[in-house]
């Protein structure tokens, strides 16, 4: 999933440019009849000082500069501001008397001046909250303020949705009955969060300014998974109490994308695209791993057994991470159980990537094999671009949470490939027919359009086509020139013998010497 940075751009003849190009902003107090009120003047200057202390921004009084910010109360009774520096030279911020009584309002308008839009207008806001239009005042201005913006451009610096941002409306803004009828509610699992403007800038507000103006590299690793989607801790009890006699798979109980995929960070890449020696695949078909969780002997047996499944059917090998000296492995898969859920990062990263198997996830081979497929770079089979030729998605039978429907979105054509391998309804990466159903075993969410014997998706281990995909991507097996038959039943993978491994290693040596 792509997150959009909440910043405004203006189109010029030269293309897309940031509205503000400098961290030094000239301002002037113009016709402020209330400027004699030192408390109000102090609030304005305090807001500017807070921005200066938190970021690299500096404010200075205007002398003769042509481009400057005019703070006035002569342009109406409201609190509003131009978004970003204006080409005409003068940028306006209107603060009627009531607007200067609260520093949060001043900060909010100054953020507009810097080029930031409202948080709740982000294109991805539907993943995080529901807008209750029936509770909004039936006025064009009120409805306009809840319109999601059209993204002008995509930035390679995704910030998470910030419910507490200084740029987020309160939950009853423009309500027909403020305090009683909300206009916005957070989706699960964020239903308990506080929505709307705080008195201070949030960490993410400050990070956005740093990125836009200060050109300072920012280490975001300490934010962990909150940068992408919060891992719901209630998933832990769902998995621990999972009934194995049901058709619900463990990874369906998670709240990440697809239930179990923590999508790549900006520095990560999807391993399904790019040349064979791309840095975002595991070099030499060798996955470096570390067992970092406190697993019992039975769980370790299944985790190691899952690795052996890949080694039996493909040229991929698993090697313990070296943690000592100059040969220390920086990029590796951390197999852990410290977080809730059964999930994995997609593809190889430049440092630590994670396969999380909380208690209950490693009670068989199936889930570890599935999650290790993610770490090799594979998405779910039912997200393929050609999916609709083989299955029908029954959205009406799904749980009412709209965010779950995104688990059935198709992948990005520019970042994935099928290697000309047919759609496999039995793949270890395919959901079952009643995944995310509001009535499992009764209502299907997927139905096959082609002949198929048995249950859709996710057998106990790799299918023949699962192994073929890996062998094409990692092992030098050529992409099929002629269409292969679409399977009509679950077909187990064949053993990948020593001869195949020898041919792969010889191919890699020839490439290196050439």
Query: Which residue(s) pair with 72 in the sheet?
Result: 94
Q: In this structure, are residues 77 and 96 in contact, taking their beta carbons and an 8 Å threshold?
A: yes
109-119 in b/e burial notation, b at 16+ Cβ within 10 A? Answer: bbbbbbbbbbb
Nearest to 214 by CA among 71, 24, 345, 480: 24
Is 122 in contact with 105 (CB distance < 8 Å)? no
Q: What is the 3 state secondary structure string of 128-170?
A: CEEECHHHECCCHHHHHCCCCCCCCCCCCCCCCCCCCCCCCCC
List the structure tokens of 230: 């919060």
Taking the CA atoms of residue 302, residue 314, residue 244 and residue 409 in that order, the dihedral angle to the nearest 10 degrees is 130
Q: Which residue has the tokens 């090799």?
A: 376
Residue of 252, 299, 309, 371 marked active site:
371
Provide the token pair at 432: 């079952």
Catalytic residue among 26, 40, 109, 252: 109
Q: Which two tokens stand for residue 13?
A: 């003849």
Catalytic site includes residue 109: yes
Three-state DSSP at 32 gives coil
Please say if 65 is a catalytic residue. no
Is 370 labelled as part of a ligand binding site? yes
Secondary structure element (H or E) that encloses residue 512, with its range = helix 498-513
Query: Does the annotation list 112 as a binding residue?
Result: yes
Q: How many CB atoms lie within 10 A of CB 132?
A: 16
Residues 6+ apart with CB under 8 A from 356: 336, 337, 338, 339, 341, 342, 343, 344, 371
Residue 99: how many other CB atoms lie within 10 Å: 21
380 labelled as ligand-binding? yes
Asked whether residue 118 is marked as a ligand-binding residue, the answer is yes
Residue 21 assigned ligand-binding role:
no
Q: Are 371 and 393 in contact (CB under 8 A)?
A: no
DSSP 8-state assignment for residue 214 = I
H or E segment and range at residue 375:
helix 366-376
Q: Which residues are identified as catalytic? A: 109, 371
Binding-site entries for Zn(2+)? 108, 112, 118, 370, 374, 380
Residues of the binding site: 108, 112, 118, 370, 374, 380
């Amino acid at each position: 999933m792509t997150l959009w940075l909440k910043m405004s751009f203006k189109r010029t003849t030269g293309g897309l440019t940031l509205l503000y190009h400098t961290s030094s902003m000239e301002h002037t107090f113009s016709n402020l009849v209330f400027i004699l009120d030192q408390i109000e003047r102090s609030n304005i200057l305090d807001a500017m000082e807070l921005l200066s202390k938190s970021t690299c921004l500096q404010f200075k009084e205007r002398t003769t500069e042509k481009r400057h910010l005019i703070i006035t109360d002569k342009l109406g009774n409201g609190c509003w501001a131009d978004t970003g520096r204006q080409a005409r030279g003068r940028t306006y911020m209107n603060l009627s008397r009531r607007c200067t009584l609260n520093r949060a309002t001043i900060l909010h308008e100054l953020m507009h001046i810097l080029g930031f839009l409202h948080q709740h207008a982000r294109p991805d806001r539907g993943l995080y909250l529901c807008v209750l239009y029936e509770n909004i005042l039936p006025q064009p201005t009120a409805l306009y303020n809840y319109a999601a913006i059209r993204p002008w451009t995509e930035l390679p610096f995704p910030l998470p949705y910030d419910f507490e941002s200084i740029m987020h409306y309160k939950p009853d803004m423009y309500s027909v009955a403020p305090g009683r009828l909300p206009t916005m509610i957070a989706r699960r699992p964020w239903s308990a969060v506080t929505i709307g403007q705080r008195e201070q800038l949030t960490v993410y507000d400050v990070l956005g300014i740093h990125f836009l103006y200060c050109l300072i590299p920012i280490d975001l690793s300490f934010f962990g998974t909150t940068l992408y989607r919060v891992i719901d801790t209630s998933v832990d009890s769902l998995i621990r109490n999972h009934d194995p006699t049901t058709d619900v798979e463990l990874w369906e109980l998670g709240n990440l994308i697809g239930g179990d995929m923590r999508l790549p960070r900006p520095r990560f890449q999807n391993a399904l695209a790019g040349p064979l020696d791309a840095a975002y695949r595991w070099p030499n078909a060798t996955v470096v791993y570390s067992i970092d969780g406190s697993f019992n002997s039975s769980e370790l047996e299944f985790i190691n057994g899952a690795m052996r499944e890949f080694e039996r059917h493909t040229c991929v090998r698993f090697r313990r991470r070296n943690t000592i000296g100059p040969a220390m492995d920086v990029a590796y898969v951390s197999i852990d159980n410290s977080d809730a859920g059964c999930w994995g990062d997609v593809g190889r990263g430049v440092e630590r990537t994670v396969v999380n198997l909380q208690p209950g996830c490693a009670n068989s081979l199936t889930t570890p094999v599935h999650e290790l497929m993610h770490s090799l770079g594979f998405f779910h089979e039912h997200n393929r671009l050609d999916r609709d030729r083989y299955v029908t998605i029954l959205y009406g039978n799904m749980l009412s949470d709209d965010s779950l429907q995104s688990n059935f979105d198709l992948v990005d054509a520019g970042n994935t490939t099928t290697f000309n391998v047919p759609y496999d309804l039995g793949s270890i990466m395919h959901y079952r027919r009643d995944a995310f159903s509001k009535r499992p075993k009764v209502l299907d969410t997927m139905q096959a359009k082609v002949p198929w014997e048995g249950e859709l998706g996710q057998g106990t281990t790799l299918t023949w086509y699962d192994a073929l995909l890996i062998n094409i991507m990692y092992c030098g097996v050529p992409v099929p020139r002629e269409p292969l038959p679409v399977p009509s039943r679950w077909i187990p993978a064949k053993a990948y013998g020593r001869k195949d491994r020898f041919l792969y290693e010889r191919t890699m040596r020839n490439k290196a010497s050439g």
